[in-house]
Amino acid sequence: MTHTVTDPKLIRRKSAFFAATVICANVCGNLLLTAGMHQVGPMVTVQLLAYLHVLRNPMVDGGTVLLALGLFANLSLLSWADLSYVLPVTATGYAFSAIVGWAVLGEHVSRGRWVGVALITLGAILVGRTQPRTTP
């Protein structure tokens, strides 16, 4: 059986794969960037050379590559799925980032942040149950 671009099942599977790619790449990329920047130390400067020095950190480099991968997956996803689907579903990455910050980096996550994580997750689940594309 041949699938067309308008096949709802194909669009749903393709959207789920690319949304998962966006989420994983963003969460892992931000984790690596954070760990790398903690190694580098605080930076508040307008000097370009200081930021170029940061790029010598392998964790920062890995995080940058993963965030670029997430960007490309997001561009692909936005080429066929509605913005009103893509942004809420990929916002799950924010919830996962809070969980990773707590579990991996030992960050304190306040009760208010946990409530926000729960709301983001609930919203992503609700939107994820809809069709990714509603326009012809």
What is the reported pLDDT for 42? 82
Please, are residues 9 and 131 in contact by the beta-carbon 8 Å criterion? no
Q: Residue 2 — very low, low, confident or very high, per pLDDT cuts 50/70/90? A: very low
In this prediction the pTM is 0.85
What is the reported pLDDT for 1? 47
Write the pLDDT tens digit of every residue in 83-124. 999 999 999 999 999 999 999 999 999 999 999 999 999 999
What is the reported pLDDT for 51? 82
Residue, of 133 and 6, whose pLDDT is higher: 133
What is the reported pLDDT for 3? 47
Dump the DSSP string for 61-124: HHHHHHHHHHHHHHHHHHHHS-HHHHHHHHTHHHHHHHHHHHHTT-----HHHHHHHHHHHHHH
Decide: helix, strand or coil at residue 49: helix
Write the pLDDT tens digit of every residue in 39-94. 988 877 778 888 888 888 999 999 999 999 999 999 999 999 999 999 999 999 99
What is the reported pLDDT for 5? 60
Delimit the domains of the chain by residue range.
Answer: 8-128
Residue, of 5 and 49, whose pLDDT is higher: 49
Tokens 């910050």 correspond to 101
**Is 28 a residue whose pLDDT tops 60?**
yes
